[in-house]
A and B are shown apart, each in its own frame.
Chain A
Amino acid sequence: QKEVEQNSGPLSVPEGAIASLNCTYSDRGSQSFFWYRQYSGKSPELIMFIYSNGDKEDGRFTAQLNKASQYVSLLIRDSQPSDSATYLCAVKPHGGSQGNLIFGKGTKLSVKP
């Protein structure tokens, strides 16, 4: 059973702090990794994707991938109350069809003013 694990939270950080969200996956052959943000009552929206080991930065967001440890993380710098949402980690499993991603249950982030 291919799985993606996330701490459900809630993770609470003060405004302006760095929020660190973590994800582990079981399929060692996975090649593509994604972070989605989901506001309450809304659909997931793509924040970032990462394919290579290391860091990938996009504005206040940095995705980190360590394939040897089967670990993906998302850092949010200068957290804002508008970042309060559930963050979903998703992994494309080896051999899966194009649109087949395995999602974790998500980590709920709360940024306090």
Chain B
Amino acid sequence: ETGVTQSPTHLIKTRGQQVTLRCSSQSGHNTVSWYQQALGQGPQFIFQYYREEENGRGNFPPRFSGLQFPNYSSELNVNALELDDSALYLCASSSPGGIKENTIYFGEGSWLTVV
């Protein structure tokens, strides 16, 4: 148990639709990152939120967007879903500062299938 919770755990969407995935970070962790993991691949960094601002982004198009709330929880929104968006979406939180600041802890993930 990492203390990072995600919802929903599984969902199926139709191509062109929009989806919102939610994440509650571990207590005391103010930084939330989102990753996409396609089948047979390692997780790929989508973006990171710190103090409600996006402060790092991977190679993902603008239709991937997010929010972070004052309680550090976060949302990932994906618009105009494509078949290739089918993947496990992972939320990760990390602690501020210190030697462990680069250590991230994943939630259980949200499995998205686009049909």
Q: Number of B residues whose C-beta is below 8 Å from A?
A: 31
The answer to the question of B72 belonging to the interface, with a C-beta cut-off of 8 Å to chain A, is no
Asked if B66 CB lies within 8 Å of chain A CBs, one says no
B43 lies within 8 A of A99 (CB): no
Q: Which of B40, B58, B108 contacts A105 (CB 8 A)?
A: B40
Tell me whether A25 is interfacial, beta carbon within 8 Å: no
Q: Cβ of A99 and Cβ of B42 under 8 Å apart?
A: no
Report if B71 contacts A (CB, 8 A): no
Q: Which residues of B contact A (CB under 8 A)?
A: 2, 31-33, 40-45, 48, 50, 55-56, 58, 88, 90, 92-94, 99-109
Could you list 27 examples of A-B contacts with CB < 8 Å? A32-B102, A36-B106, A42-B109, A43-B106, A44-B43, A44-B90, A44-B106, A45-B2, A49-B100, A92-B102, A97-B50, A97-B55, A98-B31, A99-B32, A99-B45, A99-B56, A99-B92, A99-B93, A100-B48, A101-B45, A101-B102, A103-B42, A103-B43, A103-B44, A104-B42, A105-B40, A106-B42
**In the complex, are the beta carbons of A46 and B56 less than 8 A apart?**
no
- Inter-subunit contact A49/B90 (CB<8 Å): no
**Footprint of B on A, CB under 8 Å?**
4, 31-32, 34, 36, 42-46, 49, 51, 88, 90, 92, 96-106
Of all chain B residues, the one with the shortest Cβ separation from A102 is B45
Given A42-B108, A97-B56, A100-B58, answer yes or no on A105-B103 (Cβ-Cβ < 8 Å). Answer: no
Is the pair A96, B103 in contact by a Cβ cutoff of 8 Å? no
Task: Output the least CB separation between B88 and chain A (Å).
Answer: 7
How far apart sit A4 and B44, CA to CA, in the bound complex (Å)?
12
Which residues on A sit within 8 Å (CB–CB) of B93?
A: 99
Q: A residues within 8 A CB of B100?
A: 49
Separation of A98 and B103 alpha carbons in the complex (Å) = 8
